[in-house]
Amino acid sequence: MTVTIIGIGLIGGSLALSLKEKGIAASIIGVDKSPAHIQKALDLKLIDRSDTLDQAVKVSDLIFLAVPVDAILEILPRVLDQVKDQVVVDLGSTKSKILEAVRDHPRRGRLVAAHPMAGTEYSGPEAALKDLFKDKTMVLCDVKKSDEDAFEMVENLVDSLQMRSVFMNATEHDVHTAYVSHISHITSFALALTVLEKEKEEGHIFELASGGFESTVRLAKSSPDMWVPVFRQNRENVLDVLEEHIRQLKNMQHLLEKEDYEAFYKLIQRSNRIRKILR
């Protein structure tokens, strides 16, 4: 099978590693707007060769879009314009706007909308990890609108990657990812800005930083090229969860100002219930 991966960053590069390791792809073509990324991907043997988007689509059996979601909005219709029997998979972190943009496309059935719930704070081809997807969740959206053979190919691929499949519609996906993923990143960005503002001498940050701080602020290293488009496309859901998050922070602030430590204790105790979900 010949596979094209558009966007050879963390997700695209990790996918390339997994497809090779599992023997799924005989040849992997890389497409990326950055010549440096292409060269790095070739040096790391993530891809076998590079090509233009149009030429790569023509000769491929399976095409992945692993670029920022605003770029998917632009590229996906162009890719669908050219496919015949090929299968196209978008790996975007948002779904509603993307799927709405191609809702009436005559080749919509060749598209399978997917979102691997996996990643790190790093970006670029050098961030690729061969086991990034193992034991993680792949969200598959609006699968009834995909052709049966296209869906079956992707479902088998998900199994081969040792991932769990979860099925949602695009609206559900965007709501739930706002709560479990997008808010985590925006909170981490805010915490990093808070510490940088309060701690002008950065040396003290590194001297005092513990595992707790590092794990909480880790996501603040994530690329704005990826996350600003996510926040733009999922703006309403992110604003909704952000409003609730701010309400919770203000409540904690109010209890500290009142020195109501009993109520504060109960709040933390209630938050501990998350253990039942995240074990």
Q: What is the pLDDT along the chain (279 residues), one digit of tens a residue?
A: 999 999 999 999 999 999 999 999 999 999 999 999 999 999 999 999 999 999 999 999 999 999 999 999 999 999 999 999 999 999 999 999 999 999 999 999 999 999 999 988 889 999 999 899 999 999 999 999 999 999 999 999 999 999 999 999 999 999 999 998 999 999 999 999 988 887 776 666 666 666 677 777 889 999 999 999 999 999 999 999 999 999 999 999 999 999 999 999 999 999 999 887 776
Query: Are 113 and 144 found together in one domain?
Result: yes
Q: Which of 120, 153, 168 is the last residue of a domain?
A: 168
Q: What is the DSSP string of 192-236?
A: HHHHHHH--SHHHHHHH--HHHHHHHGGGGS-HHHHHHHHHHTHH
Query: Are 108 and 138 found together in one domain?
Result: yes
Q: Which of 168, 185, 202 is the last residue of a domain?
A: 168
Domain that holds residue 109: 2-168
- What gap in Å lies between CA 274 and CA 164, rounded to an integer? 21
Query: Are 249 and 159 found together in one domain?
Result: no
Query: Are 177 and 146 found together in one domain?
Result: no
**Closest-CA residue to 25 (of 9, 47, 55):** 47
Residue 67 burial class via C-beta count within 10 angstroms: exposed 0-12, middle 13-18, buried 19 and up:
buried
Q: How many domains does the chain have?
A: 2
Helix (H, G, I), strand (E, B) or coil at 142: coil
Query: Are 10 and 140 found together in one domain?
Result: yes
Please answer whether residues 73 and 101 qualify as being in contact, where contact means their C-beta atoms are separated by less than 8 angstroms: yes
Query: Are 244 and 180 found together in one domain?
Result: yes
Q: What is the pLDDT of residue 210?
A: 66
Query: Are 135 and 234 found together in one domain?
Result: no
Query: Are 157 and 266 found together in one domain?
Result: no
Q: What is the pLDDT of residue 96?
A: 98
- What gap in Å lies between CA 207 and CA 201, rounded to an integer? 11
Length of the chain: 279
**Closest-CA residue to 252 (of 263, 239, 240):** 263
Q: What is the pLDDT of residue 198?
A: 77
Query: Are 229 and 99 found together in one domain?
Result: no
Q: What is the pLDDT of residue 35?
A: 96
Q: What is the pLDDT of residue 209?
A: 66
List alpha helices for 161-200, DSSP H: 170-177, 183-198
Angle between helices 183-198 and 235-258 (to 10 degrees): 50
Which CATH number is 201's domain given? 1.10.3660.10
Q: Which of 136, 168, 200 is the last residue of a domain?
A: 168
Q: What is the pLDDT of residue 208?
A: 67
Q: What is the pLDDT of residue 207?
A: 67
Q: What is the pLDDT of residue 205?
A: 67
Q: Which two tokens stand for residue 8?
A: 């050879």
Q: What is the pLDDT of residue 275?
A: 82
